[in-house]
Amino acid sequence: MAQLELVVNKQTNEFRADLLNNSKFSADAFNYEDASFFIIMNGVNLSFKSANKNNNIKFVINSYQKHGDKFFSEFRGSFSGILYDKKEKKWIIFTNHTGDQKLFYIETENSLFVYSDLYKLKDQLKDNNISYSLNVTAAYYLITYGYMTDDSTIIKGVKRLTAGRYLILKENTLENNRYFTLHNTPNHKLTTNEAIEQIDELFHKAIQLEYDKDIQYNYKHIAAMSGGLDCRMTNWVANKSGYRDCTNYTYSQAGYLDMIIAKQMSTYLGNEWIFRDLGKGDFLEDIDELTRISNACFRSTVRTSITKTLDFSQYGLIHSGQLGDAILSTHCPETGYNPASKIKATSHTLLKKVKLDYTQWENEEIANIEVRGFNGMLSGNFTYQPFTEVSSPFADPDFINFVLTIPLSMRGYHSIYKKWILMKYPDAAKFKWENINAKINEKTINIRNKIIPLKQLPKFIFSACLYNFGIDISQGKKLQNTNPFDYWYKTNPGLKNYLDTYFDKNIILITEPELKSDVSMLYAKGAMTDKLQALTLLAAIKGLEL
């Protein structure tokens, strides 16, 4: 898709900017200049109702003149952009509410560099003889959480413009401001029926915005499908809203429950279904490309594999179910609205080396949504953006704002989520939920934040007892997970040899002794996820010449 580039002289406001535009949504991504403004829009803007670029340019200018510096807060979708007001000599640089439209920037004494690609920004620093180095703190973020927990990047001094934020550059001063803030103050007057009705109405509106964008450009619809609830509801509500020409795609191990359920539901809805078998995990050998296309983010690894086999030319947006669990349910059903205490990491081996300032968030839920949700989960969109754009109705800011007012007691353990499905879309409940290998209307019990169907309780207790004695019966089983990394590493000698050789060859790139020792230990003793995070770090250091 389009690549955004901007270099501004802070003293003179002279600038060099470009949008290398090969976007499928050519009227949504554009650059424009007249006597009053210079404008770049990137990504996809669901608020644009025209496939005519000139109409959308007028829309941006009118929005700015009406709403001022935060004019883009009224926009919806996966967008980013730049507006230079020539009369005011003011630059406004912005990204969308959830931050999945990436922008990286660095401020030097004389200039501001803004790029949508971290590697191209590195090249610009190199060409301008600006020194750069590895951000060791960010390296530890990468090998623990698998993504950045703040606006850091793997390059020291380079920052990412995160969710709901914008920059203003005026009179040689750069400000980083927030325009979208999450709050989860509960509305205890809200009844279950009122909550469900509002959920359904806002979800329908978000679906309509997404799918109408495909129609606007005469594209077919394509949507992820899995055995979970999130993709299921994106597809179900779209289908019930009359959007029929849809293709579903699924990636997992062949024969895994995720594949079986996804195929059943796609067939039921009358959608074409494309399946990508992850096989023996050989795609992980493309570690350099995977890291490059994801802008050095581990969580994007598996999603990258699907882009090699799908022809996106006939399709519009990828419709996903991202953030469904995090928003409509919650990652912390038992913790209430207490101050933040933890954000789930991918690897805990070196977590003690990472110190987060939890006082910056209102509570644990807000921390998890902003960090794990926006920074982590949505970073998977980076891998699709060279081909198309991604949208999820669960990530719609109006939907988020309302749902977070529903008390945790109603949202916890998917309670309101399941009631919404059963009340409004009972057919969707006919199929198993992969997470529990049972239908959502079966009786369950919650044990340590895990939902267990009552009929599976004896097996769960037996497995837990064995685990307490050091026996994990899930280890080495192929179909225990959509992405069985450990299984691949143990059963695919070619993959194991390639990854081990890559590590041995590139570990010398780390010059900081403590980090080098920690990464070596992580790779030698860690599970496959630990190893992949270590490899992602090495690939980033190699590709970015750090």
Question: pLDDT-derived band of residue 356, with 50, 70 and 90 as boundaries?
Answer: confident
Range with the poorest average pLDDT among 24-28, 64-68, 440-444, 525-529: 440-444
Which residues, at least 6 apart from 295, have a Cβ–Cβ distance to it below 8 Å?
Answer: 102, 104, 117, 118, 119, 379, 382
Query: How confident is the model over 132-183, as pLDDT tens digits?
Result: 999 999 999 999 999 999 999 999 999 999 999 999 999 999 999 999 999 9
Which residues, at least 6 apart from 401, have a Cβ–Cβ distance to it below 8 Å?
Answer: none
DSSP three-state, residue 357: coil
pLDDT at position 479 is 46
The encoded tokens of residue 491 equal 């059963």
Average pLDDT over residues 432-461: 74
Query: How confident is the model over 362-378, as pLDDT tens digits?
Result: 888 898 999 999 999 99
Query: How confident is the model over 415-424, as pLDDT tens digits?
Result: 999 999 999 9
Instruction: Name the one residue in this structure whose structure tokens are 């019930």.
Output: 240
Range with the poorest average pLDDT among 180-194, 206-220, 466-480: 466-480
pLDDT at position 185 is 93
What residue type is 429 in one-letter code? A
Rounded to whole angstroms, the Cα distance separating 274 from 287 reads 25
Residue 475 has pLDDT above 60, yes or no: no
Residue 186 has pLDDT above 50, yes or no: yes
Please write down the HEC assignment for all residues of 214-228.
Answer: HHHCCCEEEEECCCC
Average pLDDT over residues 121-128: 95
DSSP three-state, residue 26: coil
DSSP three-state, residue 344: coil
Question: pLDDT-derived band of residue 448, with 50, 70 and 90 as boundaries?
Answer: low
Question: pLDDT-derived band of residue 493, with 50, 70 and 90 as boundaries?
Answer: very high
Check residue 12 and report its DSSP letter: T
Please write down the HEC assignment for all residues of 395-453.
Answer: HCHHHHHHHCCCCHHHHHHHHHHHHHHHHHCHHHHHCCECCCCECCCCCEEEECCEEEE
Range with the poorest average pLDDT among 35-49, 97-111, 465-479: 465-479
pLDDT at position 332 is 62
Query: How confident is the model over 108-117, as pLDDT tens digits?
Result: 999 999 999 9
CB atoms near residue 202 (< 10 Å): 18
The encoded tokens of residue 74 equal 């009224």
Rounded to the nearest integer, the mean pLDDT of the chain is 89
Rounded to whole angstroms, the Cα distance separating 426 from 293 reads 40
pLDDT at position 361 is 87
Question: pLDDT-derived band of residue 476, with 50, 70 and 90 as boundaries?
Answer: very low
Rounded to whole angstroms, the Cα distance separating 224 from 251 reads 9
**Higher pLDDT among residues 464 and 204, named by residue:** 204
Question: pLDDT-derived band of residue 478, with 50, 70 and 90 as boundaries?
Answer: very low
The encoded tokens of residue 496 equal 């194991």
pLDDT at position 340 is 46
The separation between CA 97 and the C-alpha centre of its own chain, rounded to angstroms, equals 12
CB atoms near residue 236 (< 10 Å): 20
Range with the poorest average pLDDT among 195-204, 236-245, 270-279: 270-279
Rounded to whole angstroms, the Cα distance separating 364 from 421 reads 27
Rounded alpha-carbon distances, angstroms, from residue 437 to 46, 70, 305, 351, 453: 36, 45, 26, 32, 8
The encoded tokens of residue 55 equal 């109409």
Which residues, at least 6 apart from 211, have a Cβ–Cβ distance to it below 8 Å?
Answer: 221, 238, 241, 243, 319
pLDDT at position 97 is 98
What residue type is 143 in one-letter code? I
Cα angle 121, 125, 131; round to 5: 135
CA dihedral 450, 453, 456, 457 (to 10 degrees): 60
pLDDT at position 302 is 56
Q: What is the pTM of this model?
A: 0.92
Residue 93 has pLDDT above 90, yes or no: yes
Residues 359, 283 contacting (CB under 8 angstroms): no
The end-to-end CA distance of the chain, in Å, is 26
Average pLDDT over residues 302-316: 75
CA dihedral 381, 366, 372, 168 (to 10 degrees): 50
Check residue 155 and report its DSSP letter: B
Question: pLDDT-derived band of residue 315, with 50, 70 and 90 as boundaries?
Answer: very high
Positive or negative torsion for Cα 324, 325, 328, 330: negative
DSSP three-state, residue 523: helix
Residue 54 has pLDDT above 80, yes or no: yes
Rounded to whole angstroms, the Cα distance separating 155 from 158 reads 6
